[in-house]
């Protein structure tokens, strides 16, 4: 099938064309969409940036980015040369009105050459403090009046708290319909994250046990070995709770906890996710310490190399109160999940770079086997590994070969890379194609963003008002602060990590 017939002619304007996101993610993703024939032959990418650069120098830089970051590796000259013809670089001061009036003329000229409706996509790939002013100027210039085909893509972070997120939503609603807004949480574009929906709702096997009767608790860990990597300025304003928990981890929690959608219509899926956010128990401000803990990395060792602590990083205050690790225990107050803890944690400079969801099942109701047969007994566990290896592992009990009845846990493993040999698209490929096709399922709706902020606000307010007195409190290369172990240990549980390459069947 010719895929190109699926998409309309498109003009995409990237505000922040000289930025890191454009270089590392957006252009490699668009290039791969082009190679996979998802882009209409009438496709124009206008990159706006502050720098004085010739078109040739700009394309040279983009090509280096593609060669370095594309999942396909180095580009082929003939293919790149054709793709590069769709890209235009323009120096622009985003604060001036002329940028938008000229853009309007260029978009109108492009539309004239097309024989059907044209997608007009505006991508805000700039630091968040410029989101509002650029969005307003796009609106004021009349670039968003085509309610069906003009779309605005907004990068994260969306606001810094509930109040600012609400204000930004209100501002956007003055110029755009909600269906024109694509608020990115790039986690939702990952193959494995989308697979959670397939796993849960395309199989009859799991849904009957997917509730408080069988599940003891759920753990979600997104940890990174890297530190703030030159983004000290950004991190000082945000921290792990804002940067990871409020968006990515709460979205993963929603996918695990949501009710089955009636269809995969964008609003139906998002309604079911918002239901979860609304059912999350609001943590009382005086009880924050029982539900949430924070950490900040000290110096330490990562992959055999000595690394500095957070407070020694560039652009970080020597007495910074900012958390680089956060763990929160959530409860979802509805019939399915009543009293099932959902533990989520995320941190930088941890021992492993891993994103993993663990579903810990309850023990069997009655133990029929003698004690000596079950020395190694463990309740069932399901691990959804999102990165770096993508796969699903189910742990259950089996009889060890031998004359005696000896039980031990074994794993049943589904590994993406063993099963599928075709290339896996990057999250930004999926998300950009969705924007081009006008499918908002994987994007955050206004009420979703606000509900997610609402749930973390008590923790955020408490932490802002009471800076930690014991930062830094975990060594780089460790598993985070001891308080995070205590948070889960007091319920009789422990954090579980089962990377696929390790066989821990005992």
| Contact residues: ligand NAP, CB under 6 A | 16-21, 24-25, 49-51, 94, 125-128, 130, 155-156
What is the layout of strands, in order, in the sheet containing 474-476? 305-307, 297-302, 474-476
Closest CA to 261 of 184, 198, 335, 336: 198
Residue position matching structure tokens 């790149």: 80
CB of 159 or CB of 391, closer to ligand NAP: 159
Residue 222: strand, helix, or coil: strand
Q: Which tokens is 131 given?
A: 């989101």
Residue nearer to ligand NAP on the CB measure, 189 or 480: 189
Under 8 Å between Cβ of 242 and 157? yes
Beta carbon of residue 188, minimum distance to ligand NAP (angstroms, whole number): 13
Cα–Cα distance for residue pair 392/159, rounded to 1 Å: 34
At closest approach, how far in Å is the CB of 425 from ligand NAP? Answer: 17
Note if 278 is an active site residue: no
- Which lies closer to ligand NAP via its Cβ, residue 248 or residue 329? 248
Rounded least distance, CB 135 to ligand NAP, Å: 13
Q: Strand, helix or coil at 375?
A: coil
CA angle 57, 58, 61 (to 5 degrees): 85
Which residue among 40, 186, 217, 248 is the active-site one? 248
Query: Shortest approach of ligand NAP to residue 125 CB, angstroms?
Result: 5
Q: Are 125 and 15 in contact (CB under 8 A)?
A: yes
Q: Compute φ and ψ for 151, nearest 5 degrees.
A: -135, 145
Q: Tokens in use for 255? A: 């996918």
Q: Under DSSP, is residue 379 helix (H, G, I), strand (E, B) or coil?
A: coil
Alpha helices for 85-190 (secondary structure H): 97-113, 131-140, 162-173
Question: Which residue's Cβ has the minimum distance to ligand NAP?
Answer: 19
- Find, among 188, 153, 190, 124, the residue nearest to 442 by Cα: 188
Could you please report the per-residue DSSP string of 244-288?
IIIIIIHHHHHHHHPPPPSS--HHHHHHHHHHHHHHBPPPPGGGH
CB of 93 to ligand NAP, least distance (A): 7
CA atoms lying within 13 Å on the CB side of residue 188: 26
Integer distance in angstroms from the first to the last C-alpha of the chain?
49
The contacts of residue 340 (CB under 8 Å, 6+ apart) are: 212, 215, 216, 217, 218, 331, 332
CB of 264 to ligand NAP, least distance (A): 26
> Phi and psi of 385, rounded to 5°?
-95, 120
What is the smallest separation between the CB atom of 136 and ligand NAP, expressed in angstroms?
Answer: 15
Catalytic residue positions? 248
């Amino acid at each position: 099938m010719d895929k190109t017939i699926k998409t309309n002619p498109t003009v995409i304007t990237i505000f922040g064309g000289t930025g890191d996101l454009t270089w590392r993610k957006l252009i490699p993703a668009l290039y791969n969409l082009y190679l996979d024939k998802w882009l209409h032959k009438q496709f124009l990418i206008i990159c706006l940036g502050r720098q004085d650069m010739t078109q040739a120098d700009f394309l040279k830089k983009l090509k280096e980015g593609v060669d370095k970051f594309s999942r396909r590796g180095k580009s082929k000259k003939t293919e790149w040369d054709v793709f590069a013809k769709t890209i235009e670089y323009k120096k622009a001061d985003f604060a001036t009105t002329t940028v938008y009036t000229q853009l309007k003329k260029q978009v109108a000229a492009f539309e004239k050459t097309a024989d059907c409706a044209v997608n007009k996509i505006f991508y805000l790939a700039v630091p968040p403090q410029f989101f509002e002013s650029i969005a307003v100027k796009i609106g004021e210039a009349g670039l968003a009046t085509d309610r069906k085909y003009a779309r605005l893509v907004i990068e994260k972070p969306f606001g810094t708290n509930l109040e600012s997120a609400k204000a930004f939503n209100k501002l956007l609603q003055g110029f755009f319909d909600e269906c024109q807004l694509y608020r990115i949480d790039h986690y939702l574009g990952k193959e494995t994250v989308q697979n959670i929906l397939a796993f849960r709702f395309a199989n009859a096997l799991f849904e009957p046990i997917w509730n408080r009767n069988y599940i003891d608790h759920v753990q979600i860990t997104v940890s990174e070995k890297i530190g703030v990597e030159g983004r000290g300025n950004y991190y000082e304003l945000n921290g792990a709770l804002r940067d990871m928990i409020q968006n990515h981890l709460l979205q993963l929690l929603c996918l695990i906890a949501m009710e089955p959608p009636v269809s995969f219509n964008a609003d139906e899926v998002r309604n079911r996710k918002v239901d979860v956010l609304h059912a999350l128990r609001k943590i009382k401000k005086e009880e924050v310490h029982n539900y949430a803990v924070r950490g900040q990395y000290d110096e330490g060792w990562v992959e055999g190399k000595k690394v500095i602590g957070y407070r020694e990083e560039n652009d970080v205050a020597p007495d910074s109160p900012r958390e680089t690790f956060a763990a929160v225990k959530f409860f979802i107050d509805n019939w399915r999940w009543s009293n099932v803890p959902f533990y989520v944690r995320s941190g930088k400079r941890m021992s492993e770079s891993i994103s993993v969801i663990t579903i810990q099942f309850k023990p069997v109701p009655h133990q029929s086997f003698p004690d000596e047969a079950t020395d190694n007994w463990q309740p069932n566990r399901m691990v959804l590994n999102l990165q770096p290896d993508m796969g699903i592992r189910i742990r259950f009990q089996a009889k060890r070969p031998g004359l005696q009845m000896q039980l031990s846990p074994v794993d049943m493993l589904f590994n993406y890379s063993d099963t599928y040999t075709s290339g896996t698209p990057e999250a930004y490929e999926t998300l950009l194609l969705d924007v081009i096709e006008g499918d908002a399922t994987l994007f955050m709706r206004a009420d979703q963003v606000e509900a997610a902020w609402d749930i973390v606000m008590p923790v955020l307010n408490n932490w802002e008002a009471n800076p930690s007195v014991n930062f830094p409190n975990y060594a780089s290369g460790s598993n985070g602060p001891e308080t995070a172990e205590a948070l889960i240990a007091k319920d009789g549980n422990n954090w579980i990590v089962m990377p696929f390459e390790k066989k821990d069947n005992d």
